[in-house]
Chain A
Amino acid sequence: MSIEVRVPTVLRTHTDGEKRVTVEGATLAEAIDDLEARYPGLGDRLRDDEGNLARFVNVYVNDEDVRFLGGQQTELADGDQIAILPAVAGG
């Protein structure tokens, strides 16, 4: 199962500058694990210390915010696309 991940500029230090990388996984959790295995540090940016999705990083599957899908349990199909964007917030 091949999943494309769009990597934002700010996280491309983990991917040698690559904008798009490919991972495997039947769920988002597996895809993040695979991302971490292939690009150490990158998968960890998406989770907090308890392993939950990090609060200030947006993760999308096929342009849908995964908070409104199944979170890390979101099922993935071949050809799905994951996008990652650090949240933009402030006061």
Chain B
Amino acid sequence: MSIKDIISPFSVWKRAAQKPWTIKDPINDRPGAENYRGFHKNDFDKCVGCGTCEDICQNAAIDLMPVEGVETDMGDSGLRPMIDYGRCCWCALCVDVCPTGSLTMSNDYTWVTDDPEDYRFIPGADKKKWDDCEKGYKRADNFQLIDFERIKMKELGVEERSSPFIEMVKGYSKEQAIEEAERCLECGICVARCPAHMDIPEYIKAIREDDIELAVQILYKTNPFSASCGRVCTHHCEDVCSLAHNGEPIAIRWLKRYILDQVSPEEMAKVLKSIIQTNNKKVAIIGAGPGGLSAAYYLRLLGYEITIFEGNEKGGGMLRYGIPEYRLPYDQLDKDIDYIASLGVKINYNTRIGDEVNFDDIYNSNDALFISPGLWNSIPVNITGEELPNVISGIDLLNKVTNNEEIELGSKVAVIGGGNSAMDAARTAKRLGAEVEVYYRRRIEDMPADVEEIVEAQEENVKFFPQTTPLELKKEGSRIKFIWGKNKMERKEGERPKPVLIKGETFETDIDTFIIAIGQKADLSFLPEKINNNLETKWSKVVVNENGQTTVEKIFSGGDASNNKADAVSAIADGHKAAVGIDKYLNK
């Protein structure tokens, strides 16, 4: 110790003369950093109420609550996160996992209120002083905690697939399926969107846990056509997947297919363990399409004796006769139908009502009827020349291909329409060796067909002529002179753009076959007049109530004949709904 040690400490006085570091008004003089984790904000335009924030919050500080002015609809749970600042630790994990990016934070430091209840609030709904604050914590672009990229499934290349009718998309391997299933956030938005309300998060969870048996059981609770739906479902569930807002949705359809691919037809009974106790009541079903067979399946499980009448040689309806084999191989459809038949459902094929059997006999000998005849009559385009021999409908073409009939399309084909049926017809014609042109009255982006169908058709060299209207067909030797006009799109506020023919802009194309695929309608002529008169229809669709019951008490209906969805999964949902409805009706 020295004298220096006694004097040196007095140097602290030097700092007494300096400007202090303390800020008098820290909140205003020094705002929070750009990136500060302050108070929560929620952009209601983006939020879909998926609840991932609630799920990830380790303090259980987030609850999803209904909010006035936010409606539940397809793809939005109608709920919004409410945050409890008595529990929140401001870790911002909720911000980082938010799949839509709606949840962010402001950079405000302080908030004082005298009402403790205020500290539990719904960001976005309850107005706060920081709502317009631009700065604050947001998920960085190069940082993500959820997986936005889908596991790719193997597909045949364009060259390999364009001629043969073999399945185009190869299934997932076990590793791929589990990896894809791991991306799921289990929000359940998809369940509400699925017409059959399949328990999607649960069967995806079963895949993750590699419990295929459980997965099959979950599928069959709401859908006995899972092998087929796993291939051709319109998968509206994927459109609303919460991951789809900033990335690729879960491949729900392919995962469903994966489950059924793991179970052979022989193992189905072992896995599903269906026990049937017959209740001696009889239900007849007209039409062995997805709607009729689903109704048969669920009614059979309830103990009813089921007889199905089907006009075609085989079951499956439009799944067999309306969808080409490269999308849905027949053995997969047979797998679904065979299992339903194995439960003791009697299916009479090649049996047309009126020809082979009498409707009244069926009506009188059964306790209830379910009619799902499907849409087999093509809607005409209403132009001159439509009666020419080389004019066929898309459904006829697909039907003939399924029945292995000989088809002569010639070298050039025009397909009219923009839906999935038009795409199927066009791609089938392409596979039969013709040059194919698709004519559609609106723009390509307005086409009701699935995007992948359009893209794949383009890859296969199908030519598209959007904004066109067919005007006339003229016979020219063995060929047809197809005259068509160009459309312009007219926009009215709040309405879908409408195609309007541009006068004077007409073109001619020489073609061999003209395929109409603009829509189909039901043929209800098999019903006796007395019933037909009592059966209410609207826009040529059979009207049903919430139980699937028609205005004729004993008759229930479903599928394409009664709904406007025109897809298999809606028909399946109808079948299930009507099965429950019939059970209620017969046990009231």
Task: Specify whether A and B are partners.
Answer: no
Measured CB to CB, the residues of B under 8 A from A are: none
Measured CB to CB, the residues of A under 8 A from B are: none
